[in-house]
Structure 1
């Protein structure tokens, strides 16, 4: 997992098109700009620009061994998971604002994915109807216990991550968040 601690790298993540490109590379694996443009509905030139920004930030890299000729450019994510903590950006107001914006953009991306699922025909068909889940609750936890809960949830996600494609498997989006809150 890539742990982001640099505000410049976080700025690269905090853009809706770049976040979507990262998601596609994470799910589908290495790809070319033309394919990414088709999947995201963006122009190839726009995708190429955003791929360069992600590469300069060290979040993706070229995969020249996949190219069949010198005109093909393939890109991949060396770390399929990225993460950051607000505490790593608290020392500088501008960096903290960048981290807040990245968190807000990430949350919007998560909400958009959930809305797309809820409006899809698949959300009303078995076996996904009885497999998909939504859970939330209020717990009484200390900061240390919340961190422990987050670590355990990440361990569960890691245990299921990296499973190879199979006939009965599809990409599944899982979200987990924990923070102090009141009803």
Structure 2
């Protein structure tokens, strides 16, 4: 069973017209996506980047997200509407200075999905593969961007890491490894960042484990 998880994206309305909210994961507060509409909404590079920006920087307006992702404000507004209809973002009216200003936030701190949940729905399986392909593409684009810039920030270059291992595992043991890795990352992502004057940046960490041959 293949599962994908995004901390974003992990992935945060008129209730009677929009799809049911994804199911929450009681252990981590991460929602399991169970409808194809949400997967299709995430399988778009601009919308994926917008969700990442909301995760890293917090609530924003369409104009703020447009500037962050290099698109027109009208395009950003359209993508926000798609994400809202899929139950992935919601308005944050408490942040608006007037009635014309619209702020948006993620509904959930992270999302996950399993292709097995959509086995009987061909369109949903296609959407799941598209969302996963985009996730992988973005992960390795970030690696390439970092490799191109690492030499300009020597302190971060020294701190950054990459690791890979060949393990001999059963499916159940791989599930345990996954839970342990996710628990470590969740602990760091949920910590209260100290107000100690130390300069911090957003740091991207991703991990994958799957059967393979040398």
TM-score, length of structure 2 as denominator length: 0.81
Report the structure, 1 or 2, having the larger helix content.
1
Aligned partner of 1:28 in structure 2 is 57
1:127-142 to structure 2, matched below 5 A, reads 127-142=155-170
Q: CA RMSD in A?
A: 1.4
Aligned partner of 1:175 in structure 2 is 206
Closer/same/farther in 2, CA of residues 18 and 68 from structure 1, 3 Å limit: same
What SS class does the counterpart of residue 119 from structure 1 fall into? helix
Q: 5+ residue gaps in structure 1? A: none
Report the structure, 1 or 2, having the larger strand content.
2
* Equivalent residue for 1:86, pick from 99, 112, 115: 115
Closer/same/farther in 2, CA of residues 158 and 123 from structure 1, 3 Å limit: farther
What SS class does the counterpart of residue 127 from structure 1 fall into? helix
Distance in 1 between the 2:115 and 2:175 partners? 13
Aligned partner of 2:181 in structure 1 is 153
1:16-55 to structure 2, matched below 5 A, reads 16-55=45-84
Query: 1:139 offset after TM fit, Å?
Result: 1.0
Query: 1:2 offset after TM fit, Å?
Result: 1.9
1:58-69 to structure 2, matched below 5 A, reads 58-69=87-98
Q: 5+ residue gaps in structure 2? A: 1-29
- The total of aligned residue pairs comes to 182
Distance in 1 between the 2:169 and 2:115 partners? 19
Closer/same/farther in 2, CA of residues 165 and 6 from structure 1, 3 Å limit: farther
Given that 1:7 and 1:95 are in contact with CA atoms closer than 8 Å, whether structure 2 keeps it comes out as yes
Distance in 2 between the 1:155 and 1:174 partners? 13
Distance in 1 between the 2:116 and 2:163 partners? 27
Aligned partner of 2:106 in structure 1 is 77
Query: 1:91 offset after TM fit, Å?
Result: 2.4
